[in-house]
Amino acid sequence: MAGVTDVIFRQICKELGADVMVTEFVSAEGIMQADERTRKYTEFTDEQRPVGVQLFGADGERMGEAAKKIIDWKRPDFIDINFGCPVNKVVARNGGSSLLKDCPVLAAVASGVAKAVGEQVPVTAKMRIGWDENSVNAVEVARILEDCGMQAIAVHGRTRAQGYGGEADWEVIDAVARAVKVPVIGNGDITCGADVVKRRATAVSGVMIGRAAMQNPWVFREAKHFLETGEILADVMIEERWELVLRHCRLAVESRRNGTEKQTLTAMRSRLMAYCKGFPGAKELRQKLCQVASVAEVEALAEYSIGQGILAEF
């Protein structure tokens, strides 16, 4: 997830049970220019494996070259292609979900990457179910992707027009999973183990969790425990939540990935707000978090929040 699943957040998710993770998406052109920022997006550690690097772009040949380059640099466990991004900047350059409207180009991108990568690593794809409600074509697109050599397909059950609103359509995800032989990973609105169990009743081979992890990275631990035992783990206490928030801040500052401490904390504000959704006094906390500029300030907020002595209800 762009702006979210950086190397530090992935480390946290891995520790909490995430099985397979993907980098923030990167443009094929960024890879070709090997710019510093793009390198940063594709960073991962061996402990985080299996990790995929996600590429977007609209030119199969350039995408293929970029995929080869990234394999030389990083040896990721797989290359993933983004056919789901709804953001105007990406769509305007014919990347992401815009390719759902142009199956020949989508096929050229998928096969361009698959051919360039060959047997080195698997190539996978992530897609939405269509451009809008009048053009839901996920089954057709998935068949094309399979024919082009994609070895797994993740399907976010929304159209591009939906953005992140409304509900993910798991009937379409199920239809896709039944239509192709490669594993299909269902994605959309999973927030707990019970959701995973519910969605397992479809034909998917796995599920993908997005936004829920931003607020609650413990979701992986909770979901796995629920799958193994049928028991729901006790809510994570506010102390443990703050401990993780602070650890994330410290790791980010230590890494100097975003410059000074002030720059790092400024860049992290939206992440901190996501973590604190649902905390007691969340409204006031949010107002303060959108001004923090040092770890010490976050520590003070944590102390204040914990000191209120109220257990969060999630």
Ligand X SMILES: Cc1cc2nc3c(=O)[nH]c(=O)nc-3n(C[C@H](O)[C@H](O)[C@H](O)COP(=O)(O)O)c2cc1C
The helix or strand, by DSSP H or E, that contains position 125, with its residue range, turns out to be strand 123-130
Q: What CA dihedral angle connects 71, 75, 79 and 82, to 10 degrees? A: -80
User: Judged by CB, which is closer to ligand X: 164, or 304?
Assistant: 164
Q: Is 25 in the site for ligand X (CB under 6 A)?
A: yes
Q: Is 41 in the site for ligand X (CB under 6 A)?
A: no
Site for ligand X in 187-206 (CB under 6 A): 187-190
CA distance 227 to 223: 6
Q: Which residues of 142-153 are buried (b: 16+ CB within 10 A; e: fewer)?
A: bebbbebbbebb
Q: Which amino acid is at 25?
A: F
The interface mask with ligand X, positions 209-228, x = CB under 6 A, is xxxx----------------
- Taking the complex as a whole, how short is the minimal distance between the CB of residue 48 and ligand X, in angstroms? 16
Joined together, the tokens standing for residue 121 give 């690593």
Q: Is 2 in the site for ligand X (CB under 6 A)?
A: yes
Question: Which DSSP state fits 231?
Answer: P
Q: Is 233 in the site for ligand X (CB under 6 A)?
A: no
User: Judged by CB, which is closer to ligand X: 4, or 161?
Assistant: 4
Q: Is 271 in the site for ligand X (CB under 6 A)?
A: no
User: Judged by CB, which is closer to ligand X: 191, or 294?
Assistant: 191
Decide if 178 contacts 203 (C-beta within 8 A): yes
Please, what is the end-to-end C-alpha distance for the chain in angstroms? 23
Q: Is 1 in the site for ligand X (CB under 6 A)?
A: yes
Q: Is 156 in the site for ligand X (CB under 6 A)?
A: yes
The only residue of 27, 42, 48, 54 in contact with ligand X, by rule CB under 6 A:
54
User: Judged by CB, which is closer to ligand X: 211, or 281?
Assistant: 211
Neighbours of 15 (CB within 10 A): 14
User: Judged by CB, which is closer to ligand X: 50, or 210?
Assistant: 210
- Taking the complex as a whole, how short is the minimal distance between the CB of residue 164 and ligand X, in angstroms? 6
Question: Which DSSP state fits 124?
Answer: E
DSSP-assigned beta bridge partners for residue 51: 21
Site for ligand X in 112-151 (CB under 6 A): 126
Q: Is 27 in the site for ligand X (CB under 6 A)?
A: no
Of 85, 148, 249, 276, which is the active-site residue?
Answer: 85
**Helix or strand or coil: residue 149?**
coil
By CB under 6 A, the count of residues binding ligand X is: 21
Distances (CA, A) of 219 to 108, 110, 227, 283, 308: 37, 32, 12, 23, 25
User: Judged by CB, which is closer to ligand X: 5, or 11?
Assistant: 5
- 148 labelled catalytic: no
Interface residues toward ligand X, by CB under 6 A: 1-4, 24-25, 54, 82, 84-85, 126, 156, 164, 187-190, 209-212
**Residues annotated as catalytic (active site), given as ranges:** 85
